[in-house]
Structure 1
């Protein structure tokens, strides 16, 4: 009997981490894969769908300007519920900690459908950092049938919360599957990631720092401090910054005001996935408040400085691939300068083992799903 699996996601990071699972499900005759996107992030989501060759079966298109979290959650819960009533899936898959993932899990629970959680067990133990993601993933964890933990650290977090051990499986992280896939695609067709060529020429001979920033808890003073740090580090003649600026106006307003026109700073539009993989490849250091970058950059040997006070990915910090630096401008500049000026410090981070996976996570997830069916 073929199992109908409904895969639910709505943001660019979710799409990146779930397209390898969707590809694997569609290639396996044991499963019928139905894809529902919420389009919580419309433009950035569509970039990944196009590159991955995924056409959603259902598209809620819930994105609205200045939408509150409670309004978004209400729209997601009712919209996803209608899709589930129509599709009647055997199981539902969600990923990570977005409003879409949480609402998808809750809608499935209300229908007594088993929901399986990809990237389960991440915990910062601070419900406001990251906000609202920490609570979202704990809510999902309370309802999930299968918990696909990326590491033994996330497995241990779930076991401490009294999740049954036979429901928790260490699979690695699908983001490494995705990175391997897109790297192979770029090798076959270099034009997929040729859009940064002008910047590579412009900054030839300079040490590139790649920057991403979008966390809600950093809006306001945090963004101002991040912008100040970038201004200072970009004043070095040997350094350049490439910053794909998130579409959120809380990010754009600050960065455009503080960083526009600087010779060594390129503020560019958000990158599709192949170009982001290229940015990782050409950067010497990644400066980020993102979760996924903490996993992706070490796979290419790039140190990660995390502009947050806590992280739900302590494995990277423990392994030495990432370091928490917060949002204080002076500390960010100091830590960047250390990596730029101290070869030993840089090599220690660049050569540390990436704890987040081997590129076989999707295959493991499919076998675990098959065992349930």
Structure 2
């Protein structure tokens, strides 16, 4: 047995959330693990809060890479992750999702005689203009254990020539995370009181570069959301990402009085906002999943999604950034019956994954 059975590579807050059930399952099974934080999301204060709130140990390694061009950021992470993997000599490296941290972890591992597990494998938007699409495709093709959230994701991998021996349909760890943390959020979060929310409201997240870096698209998005809010007589709470806030000021865009800009929220508070919203408008893939799991109708401000299952069960609708389509989508969403079937598993994904891996000296994880 090597010093470390499993090394987890993460770098963004969504990865912290979705990998938290895996880390907890490692502890339950007595699996020796280490965590490499690349620092791709570089707000130390928010990261610290995430680890504290989720009751996770501080990562053993923190590369502190921060922002930069895709090439520069990925290269720095690749070099740093490789150095640590050579030192740790784990039996397997786990990455989750489609960020540059995932790509760096996957490439570093694939060059060494160490196996790679990709959590949330097989997602496809079929839009190669998205950097995330490149990251997820490359990672799937160099991975040894591909843990897909749905049968559809597994089918996409088979269509690309990947053999069944590498594919495992486990569900998505986001279900595990929501189940584990929703009760905690109900007990501890006071965000509704702090924001003075007493009635129905809509929740907005918009941060993707193709939306907020394009003045016309961002203006149209905000206009559509504002008009929908007026017609629905509903305030919109918008925890605004620093990138989006900077662009809002740079472009001198008007924001409807119905849209209230608030600071980014920690996970527990954001989960509370998600679970109590009447409708969610977002360009985030992870938020689409969480809305579906929580039974909250979602309007996706993109032309495509790598979560088609949310569309199929009626939880989500794609509207892009056209103002009229956003308004129509919001009206449709609030009239949606919310008793759809959750397509992302039963909340035991982390346990299924670890019981699949050939790590030494670990007891089977209870499901």
Same fold (TM over 0.5): yes
Matched residue of 2:191: which SS?
helix
Conservation of the 8 A alpha-carbon contact between 1:210 and 1:286: yes
Distance 2:217 2:246 in 1: 13
Alignment match, 1:301: 295
* Match of residue 50, structure 2, among 48, 51, 57: 48
Q: How many residues align?
A: 354
Question: Which 5+ residue runs of structure 2 have no aligned equivalent?
Answer: 362-367
Counterpart in the other structure of 1:135: 134
Report deviation, 1:174. Answer: 0.3
Alpha-carbon offset, residue 272 of structure 1: 0.7
How far, CA to CA, are the matches of 2:220 and 2:287 in structure 1? Answer: 20
TM-score (norm 2): 0.91
TM-aligned CA deviation for residue 236 of structure 1: 3.9
Aligned to 1:28: 29
Matches within 5 A, 1:204-243: 204-205=198-199, 207-218=200-211, 219-220=213-214, 221-236=216-231, 238-243=233-238
| SS of corresponding position for 1:27 | helix
Moved more, 12-21 or 362-371: 362-371
What CA deviation, in whole Å up to 9, does each residue of 1:13-33 have, x standing for no partner?
11111011011112212x211
CA 1:159 to 1:255, structure 2 compared with 1: closer, same or farther past 3 Å? farther
Structure 1 gaps, min length 5: none
Partner of 1:265: 259
Q: CA deviation at 1:45?
A: 3.4
The CA deviation string for residues 127-165 of structure 1, in whole angstroms up to 9 with x for no partner, is 01xx20001000101110000000000010011111110
Aligned mates of 2:49, 2:191 — CA distance in 1: 14
Instruction: Find the counterpart in structure 2 of residue 197 from structure 1.
Output: 193
Deviation readout 1:56-96 (Å, 9 max, x if unpaired): 000001114xx111110111111111111221111100001
Residues 162-221 of structure 1: CA deviation (Å, up to 9, x unaligned)? 11102101000000111111112234xx2x31133133x3x433x311111111222313
Greater than 6 Å deviation, 4+ residue runs: none
Shift of 1:119: 0.2
Rounded Cα–Cα distance in structure 2 between residues aligned with 1:78 and 1:272: 30
| Mapped partners of 1:339, 1:150: distance in 2 | 24
Secondary structure of the structure 2 residue equivalent to 1:234? helix
User: Could you tell me the TM-score, scaled by structure 1's length?
Assistant: 0.90
Q: Structure 1: how far apart are the matches of 2:240 and 2:21?
A: 26
